[in-house]
Amino acid sequence: DAGVTQSPTHLIKTRGQQVTLRCSPKSGHDTVSWYQQALGQGPQFIFQYYEEEERQRGNFPDRFSGHQFPNYSSELNVNALLLGDSALYLCASSDYDRGREGYGYTFGSGTRLTVV
């Protein structure tokens, strides 16, 4: 059973450019969340998608946008890149774990974005 797949694994972009990151959720998961992890920091929540709608959003500017497709895969788009956007971007898919009465989250290996 494939877990969460993210692409690309590494990316180098120039300041001011736009970037699109992709995520395929774990089989059976219908909810996708995106996180930004700066070097040496904990992941920060960007937004969550469920049923192709943005369900919750963290404290990130509108330059960060996303999309979820009918097959539950998702994209993260960042416009007008800044040097400070350099980070590891993590995708997590989730569902309700009925056996443990809680939500189960599975993370991908991330996309390392470097803005120069």
Partner 1 sequence: GDSVTQMEGPVTLSEEAFLTINCTYTATGYPSLFWYVQYPGEGLQLLLKATKADDKGSNKGFEATYRKETTSFHLEKGSVQVSDSAVYFCALNQAGTALIFGKGTTLSVSS
Residues that bind partner 1 (CB under 8 A): 4, 6, 31, 33, 35, 40-45, 48, 55-56, 58, 90, 92, 94, 96, 100-110
Q: Which is nearer to partner 1, 14 or 52 (CB)?
A: 52
Q: Which residues pair with 79 in a beta bridge?
A: none
To partner 1, the closest distance from the beta carbon of 39 in angstroms equals: 11
Q: Which residues pair with 103 in a beta bridge?
A: 96
Q: Which is nearer to partner 1, 14 or 84 (CB)?
A: 84
Q: CA 94, 62, 60, 57: dihedral to nearest 10 degrees?
A: -40
To partner 1, the closest distance from the beta carbon of 16 in angstroms equals: 28
To partner 1, the closest distance from the beta carbon of 96 in angstroms equals: 7
Q: Which is nearer to partner 1, 20 or 37 (CB)?
A: 37
Q: Is 65 helix (H, G, I), strand (E, B) or coil?
A: strand
Extract the runs of DSSP E, i.e. beta strands, from the chain: 5-7, 10-13, 19-24, 31-37, 44-50, 53-57, 64-68, 74-78, 87-97, 102-107, 111-115
Q: Which is nearer to partner 1, 17 or 32 (CB)?
A: 32
